[in-house]
Chain A
Amino acid sequence: MHPAPSVIIFTTLSGLGFGLLFWLGLGMPAVTGWVAFAFFAIAYALAVGGLLASTFHLGHPERAIKAFTQWRTSWLSREAWASVAALVIMGLYALGLVFFDARWSVLGWIGAGLSLVTVYSTAMIYGQLKTVPRWQSPLTPALLLAISVSGGALLAGQVTAALILLPIAAVVQVIWWVRGDTALQTSGTDMGSATGLGGIGRVRAFEAPHTGNNYLLKEFVHVVGRKHALKLRGIALVLGYAAPVVLLLLPFGHLLALLAVAAHLAGIAASRWLFFAEAEHVVGLYYGKR
């Protein structure tokens, strides 16, 4: 799949933003006043910034409001509803904390739940696709939720929680990678089933429909980003998961915490790049590619 920067920025930032909102909704940290304002400002900047970035890849962003209509069948539509609901409820909750020094706990819990539902919906947009065997697994929502909640804990200053959750997220990440590497082979879809000619013999793409490039090849058959996959996996593991844990174990300092967050973001961005670049869409088989 083509790793569109807008989608990588969207899923990375909004995942972290909703992760932070989850912890704030639970009252961890139990902040009020200006400190609460700062925390919520960061969370909203990440979540809303990510959502805005996601509209950049639309052909007609001016019609984006129509995406709220098909929640019965479409995970993308459900994500739109969940994100707006989470942002509105958490906004009310933040209003109480910042201006009235009041903790409306029930609102916070609902907002925390909706934040997780948002991340789950985002993950299911990818996890539902049979056409991308690497994504179609319950491990995909598990991975995105684990990254969101552990990153949120890091940003919310929940050191103990982050020290437990980051290694768990790293384990889910590695399992997701290992499973994904054989997903296309075990999916049962190959050039034989794609063309229906597998019963006759070995199928080889002899000539493509056009000498030039096309939308399908640009969007679904992206091989450049896979070249350094192993190195990028190492970078993602070290920066995204290991470095924050090490930095959290050192004596506390705001600079170290900032460094931990920056390393985590860079690592997750690398992981998200691979999420798209390594994903093989079955349509590539028609072109003899993967």
Chain B
Amino acid sequence: MTSLPETTQRKMGLVIDLDTCVGCHACVVSCKGWNTENYGAPLSDQDPYGADPSGTFLNRIHSYEVQPDQGAAQLIHFPKSCLHCEDAPCVTVCPTGASYKRVEDGIVLVNETDCIGCGLCAWACPYGAREMDAAEGVMKKCTLCVDRIYNENLPEVDRVPACVRTCPSGARHFGDLGDPDSDVSKLVAERGGMDLMPEQGTKPVNKYLPPRPKDQMDRPAATAPKPDGQIDVLAPFLKPVAEEPKGFIGWLDKALEKL
């Protein structure tokens, strides 16, 4: 039934740390690897070795340049997959009941044998989390690796989504965001975890941790004490070697200047 549950017992989801993600795309590869051979239809590729390759992915990594009013621009790698929204617009628009949100853990899933491939759920999703598989004609989306997290055939350490398990920089965290005492909830509280497109009213379960300010590489005086009183011990070594050219180069510089 495509009516959304009033509440879910748990809110399983991801917390993605934009401060530590290095943009290596390992989670993309592990996601595609696990999900192409497990839950539902495989994630097909079209023309994979040809001139115009494309394919179905449940997790994609964008990179953004953010330019503050003052100071250097920051490059931020930005993983994006289904946010398992509490108020998931993709579920209610489904005409067949193929899309549903689970009461027990809040995971949004597609029952592929009921999906007619009309694409309306992908239209309703603001995040681009759903992709129609071009070979199967059914809608694919992140399952939060529902076939891993409860899978007692796997060692306990592997009972997390494939993307979380593989992330080399620890930028992805998995847990119950409905429990205020869970590690992920504490992390969100401590780091000011945020919603994407809150104005769309989807109430995403997944949270993003904002990037922290980078070191002030373009600070005017690198040797000056930092505002917190600490002295940067490396600063003297990083000072420019020669402010003004001296010797022959200095003479040449002045001579050419006068020409």
Contact = CB atoms under 8 A, between A and B. Distances in A.
Interface stretch (A109-117, A214-222, A233-241): A214-222
Contacts of B63: 205-207
Interface in B194-212: 194-201, 208, 210-211
* Interface secondary structure of B, over-half rule: loop
Interface string A167-187: 000000000000000000001
Interface in A148-207: 187-189, 191, 193-197, 199-207
Interface in A53-93: 57-61, 63-64, 66-70, 72-77, 80
Interface of A: 1, 57-61, 63-64, 66-70, 72-77, 80, 125, 128-132, 187-189, 191, 193-197, 199-210, 212-216, 219-220, 281-283, 286-287
Interface in B151-201: 194-201
B1 A70 contact: yes
Nearest to A75: B93
Contacts, number: 198
B117 A286 contact: no
Q: For the side of the interface on B, what is the size category?
A: 35 or more
B57 A203 contact: no
B42 interface: no
B240 to A, nearest CB: 27
A196 to B, nearest CB: 5
Nearest to A199: B210
A196 B67 CA distance: 14
Contact of B64 (A74, A75, A204): A204
Nearest to A196: B194
Contact of A189 (B60, B75, B126, B132): B126
B62 A208 contact: yes
A58 B57 CA distance: 20
